[in-house]
Structure 1
């Protein structure tokens, strides 16, 4: 470290409590919009730290907002805490060992993401209170990032209307400023309705909804030749209409996820997929209805914020791991292939270092996003407020995202040290934004330039509600 920042000791002081909270959230993995225990953990910590807390915001019971300070500017930090299905896994072991068969697990590190963001918010809040300056630190507890697009609902509800800058991070194998590249997406369910009949005695009377789904999928697959190479379309048949082959299926459904580099490009592709669905219904004399479930905009870049985040990371230096961390990382890497390790570097635009188990460097800016660009609801936030995101090193290099290996590292020393490191960089940037009006102005100018001539359409239509779990009676 070339020098220190006043927020770093404040991060270190709060780190044990926040890492313990991250571990408790790891212990109780919860899926989209069902993160009751995780949201309660965050609420309790925020109240104990003196934040003013609003819960159940934007119509989502597990979403919250908390604020400390007064006046402006308003610097927001985003946290997440949802898990993934089917990734239950014991911690601290390099062998596949589910704790609950078919259970959930934190395969994207969101137990750390929420805790790290909250750790930075606490440090920035404590520094602000000691400084006597005006300004507000605001924490957003965001559920359902994994396909639920909660931040899009928050944007639609106007919850970012007074925010000057938004900051976030994500667990990763390496430390970097996140390149402003993600795919805009929309998830749509298509439900076909036909007419049941005896498949042998009276097939002419039936109109197969399953045939319509199959024809739709064929049509979309032919469409792939005639769409941008960077776009992605995925689907899953969610209702086959039953298991009896001697019945013409009267209902069937398929769920589509359409992605593209730009928001308007994605919306155009969704329209084409809808046309194909209508064509499949015409061919089979069935009816089709569609329902948007979720959607994210692509990330907009912000040169001023990205340069400032890079400066904070370089001032901080890479995370410091110990021999026990490196030994566990090597055990995890023994379960991976060389292709996994090469892919981890390639996603950061870096040449592979095959014998490097843990991050020991700050990735230079401008290396590019590499391969493996996905979607995030942070993108929607970036269309309404200047936004910057970093990647923090919390697991062995080569660990695939959404894997049992990532879950296994979620309570490790690697995870805790990487989370504290990310919180230090974010807290220091928050302090700078609270004291440097010129940086806030530059961020807003870059935001205006990015948005110039590009109208924003929230990928979540006004009539779509969060896909909340049905309460048991």
Structure 2
């Protein structure tokens, strides 16, 4: 795409930035949990309507899910937005020490206040550009609730809301700038709820059947299972109900939540069957009963090198982010809260191996990533999971990352929340918007690129059938 078009989009987004920065900060203030993002969802939808989009609310059976649409005809370019927060993540903004706003309160520990608004800016900027230039095409913004443990996009895919989309674009805040092609893990979550018999733990323990013992035995059994599962798989658990605080009672109920991850969903389902056997074994050993309750799931991500290469090229054209001394000073304060190993781990995790501008090695000596990650043109393994994966199975999908956080920052930490209203984060958000909008315009301007992306997607899915991992009878969780 020509430089003039990219410059025009970038200038448009810079003009939009002050108002949309306030929108992002408002969503940071709301910090609403999955499927309860009522105020956040409303603000985003209203911004779309104010900019000429038609909006459908409450789609796919989720009150806070919505789709905004502008234009007509092909291609249909989708921008994915998230806006949910995390529990127990409350933290004061722009403060480089752990200090919750509200004890045990919520907070944007994954930067979704930035993510949702950055994608929104991209959609609006591209729509306005198409209108002014008289170009055809449809721009959609997908308001996707419940990414954190809710798989909102998976429900939207199940409802067929992406069936006519030609490509989907998104981004995520990070400690680095660039495109990183990743193969994320499929994930499926179950609650294992054990029921036993209560009894006095001293006088009549022989009459009791401990559900808590069953949970503990299950956890031990799964720990032994870890040695005998594929190395790329992951299994995590949290005890969600210990049956009470009284130690002198044989606990009659207890519950544990398991996340089971694998490179592809069929592997995750096979591993889940093995975990299920362990649960039944624990129930047999303790003479309790176990109920297995499906919670949610998300399919592994299919990368698209054609889209990612174009996205990287647009980031090269956009150049580095203009961080100033104040941005660097605050990022340094945040980075000072990390160990050297945490900083090195962050660089390894995001595979920041080189710089597309200077070919310099990134070593964390500067607290913010000042360059652009070199793009290798191949995919890498990443152990996380996302419901973006389900979108990627029904349409070619690509995403970028921009440095809203100091190098060393890990998601789901108070440091993420503290940086969520920073000037550097706002600049990174706008940079992501420019990248997404420019990539959307590249797709509209180049039928050849669109065809290449779709051909690659077809080859990736050849011989494979996408089955939504959430059964038809399962409805989105209520807040």
Per the normalisation by structure 1, the TM-score is 0.95
Of 290, 309, 312, the match for 1:310: 312
What do the CA deviations read for 1:34-71 (whole angstroms, capped 9, x no partner)? 11111011011011011000111111111111100011
Counterpart position of 2:75? 73
User: How far apart are residue 461 of structure 1 and its match?
Assistant: 1.8
SS of 1:167 mapped into structure 2: strand
> Would you say 1:433 and 2:443 are equivalent positions?
yes
Tell me the SS of whatever aligns to 2:278. Answer: helix
The 3-state SS of whatever aligns with 1:176 is coil
Within 5 Å, give how 1:80-99 maps onto structure 2.
Answer: 80-99=82-101
Listed as ranges, the gaps of 5+ residues in structure 2 are 354-361
Partner Cα distance (1:432, 1:334) in 2:
40
> Which of the residues 197, 200, 204 maps onto 1:198?
200
Q: Does 1:459 align with 2:444?
A: no
Q: Which whole-Å CA distance do the structure 1 matches of 2:50 and 2:6 have between them?
A: 27
Q: Give 2:104's aligned residue.
A: 102
Structure 2 residue 335 is the aligned partner of structure 1 residue 333: yes
1:253 aligns with 2:255: yes
Stretch of structure 1 that moved more, 218-227 or 449-458: 449-458
Structure 1 portions without partners, runs of 5+:
none
- Whether the 8 Å CA contact 2:305–2:378 is kept in 1: the answer is no
What does the per-residue CA deviation read over 1:174-233, in whole Å, with 9 as the maximum and x for residues that have no partner? 112132221110111011112223333333332222222111111111100000112111
1:133-152 matched pairs, under 5 angstroms: 133-152=135-154
Q: Kindly indicate whether the alpha-carbon contact (under 8 Å) linking 1:191 and 1:289 is maintained by their aligned counterparts in 2.
A: yes
For the Cα contact (< 8 Å) 1:88–1:404, is it kept in 2? yes
Q: Secondary structure, in 3 states, of the residue corresponding to 1:254? A: strand
The alpha-carbon deviation at position 369 of structure 1 amounts to 7.3
Task: Map 1:5-404 to 2 at 5 A.
Answer: 5-351=7-353, 352-366=362-376, 373-404=383-414
Q: Distance in 1 between matches of 2:337 and 2:232?
A: 31
Q: How many residues align?
A: 469
Q: How far apart, in 1, do the equivalents of 2:380 and 2:330 lie?
A: 27
User: After the TM superposition, which of the residue ranges 168-177 and 366-375 deviates more from structure 2?
Assistant: 366-375
Per-residue Cα deviation, 1:409-433 (whole angstroms, up to 9, x for no partner)? 1111101111111111110111111
What is the aligned partner in structure 1 of residue 459 from structure 2? 449
Distance in 2, Cα, partners of 1:237 & 1:87 = 19
State the match for 2:358 in structure 1: none
Contact 2:364 2:407 in 1 (8 A): no
Alignment partners' CA distance in 2, 1:4 and 1:384: 28
Identify which range, 365-374 or 65-74, moves more after superposition: 365-374
Moved more, 160-169 or 279-288: 279-288
Shift in Å at residue 145 of structure 1? 0.9
Is the 2:185–2:262 Cα contact (8 Å) retained in structure 1? Answer: yes
In the alignment, the residues of structure 2 paired with residue 350 and residue 173 of structure 1 have an alpha-carbon distance, to the nearest angstrom, of 10
The DSSP-based 3-state class of the residue aligned with 1:53 is strand
Give the SS at the match of 1:101: coil
The offset of 1:307, in angstroms, is 1.1
The answer to which of 366-375 and 246-255 deviates more is: 366-375
Q: Who is 1:406 aligned against?
A: 416
Secondary structure at 2:182's aligned position in 1?
coil
Question: CA deviation digits over 1:86-123, x for unaligned, max 9?
Answer: 22111122122211111111111110000000000000
Distance in 1 (alpha carbons) for counterparts of 2:99 and 2:247: 38
Q: Is the 8 A contact 2:183 2:381 kept in 1?
A: no
Q: For the residues of structure 1 that align with 2:393 and 2:247, how far apart are their CA atoms? A: 48
- For residues 98 and 149 of structure 2, the distance between their equivalents in structure 1, rounded to whole angstroms, comes to 25
For residue 463 of structure 1, give the secondary structure of its aligned residue in structure 2. coil
Q: Does the residue aligned with 2:300 lie in a helix, a strand or coil?
A: coil
Aligned-residue offset at 1:284: 2.1
Q: Is the 8 A contact 1:184 1:298 kept in 2?
A: yes
User: Following the alignment from structure 1 to structure 2, what is the Cα–Cα distance between the partners of residues 85 and 371?
Assistant: 28
Stretch moving more, 308-317 or 112-121: 308-317
Q: 1:243: how far off?
A: 2.4
Which residue in the other structure is 2:356 paired with?
none
Indicate conservation of the 8 Å contact 1:56/1:63, yes or no: yes
User: Does the aligned pair in 1 maintain the 2:184–2:381 contact within 8 Å?
Assistant: no
